[in-house]
Amino acid sequence: MLRTPTGGAGHGTATAGDSAGDRLMSIGTVLSRLREEFPEVTISKIRFLESEGLVEPRRTASGYRKFSPEDLERLAQVLRMQRDHYLPLKVIREQLDALARGDEVRLPAPGAPRELLDGSWDGGSGRPTAPRVGRAELLATAEVSEDELAAWESYGLIAPDENGGYDAESVTVARLIAELGSFGLEPRHLRAMKAAAEREAGLVEQVVAPLRLHRNPQTRAHAEATAKELAVLSVRLHAALVQTALGVRLQ
């Protein structure tokens, strides 16, 4: 069982004057303690959960993460909910927020089918069903013209589904394409980015494909969580490589 120190600590920037400063832990220490109960956890996993808003460690003046005992226990709770109940991170966040408010929380039985937890899963494929938007909604939300969207579609940068709808991420893609266009980058210039993204997606798919084909819905649910984590890591690596190639650093 995970052992954590007792006591409270708030979020913010740690300083030498913090009364609880001697109880704050580095990410390496947190990893070591979590591995007592979760041998497979990694530093990248902890950082991923932080990026998803599941934990908010303090930062030193130099930018290093410092975790409180409460942060450590919160991470353990997240990992238990994933391991024992196969809850998606959105539901886990809601559960933890409810606990923080003092509300009563009822967890599903261990191994409950994912589709019973949040109603957003396709029982046939075991994959999440993303929100969809219509063409008019996409144009209005992304603030682009019909001609612009048609041009982007002709280059394969955005594509509707068989019903003429778009996934929610298409709005983000449309906005980014428009912003790049303000610098003179045309759709034909962005095909290389689309091809690179598809290659990265192919690598992720190679890792999770065997899990998605599994008959156990719990294993298929785990495949989607793994795909999301790999996607986040892939995006970070891509950004770091671009910055390195340009010799710039984003703040």
Name the pairing type of β-strands 166-167 and 132-133.
antiparallel
Q: CATH topology of 21-112 equal to that of 132-246?
A: yes
Burial class (CB in 10 A: 0-12, 13-18, 19+), 162: exposed
CATH number of 21-112: 1.10.1660.10
Please name the amino acid found at residue 4.
Answer: T
pLDDT confidence band for 86 (50 / 70 / 90): low
pLDDT, mean of residues 177-206: 91
Q: Say yes or no to pLDDT of 72 above 90.
A: yes
32: its two tokens: 């070591």
How far, in Å, are 48, 67, 69, 76, 116 from residue 89 at the CA level? 11, 20, 21, 13, 15
CA distance 190 to 151: 12
* Tens of pLDDT, residues 90-145: 788 888 888 888 887 777 655 444 433 333 444 344 444 456 788 888 888 788 89
Q: What pLDDT is attached to residue 128?
A: 44
CA distance 237 to 218: 29
* Tens of pLDDT, residues 192-227: 999 999 999 999 999 888 888 887 777 778 888 888
Nearest to 170 by CA among 149, 151, 185: 149
Q: Where are the domains of the chain?
A: 21-112, 132-246
CA distance 57 to 25: 10
Domain 132-246, classified CATH 1.10.1660, yes or no: yes
**pLDDT mean across residues, the chain:** 79
Q: What pLDDT is attached to residue 250?
A: 65
Q: What pLDDT is attached to residue 113?
A: 41
CA distance 72 to 91: 19
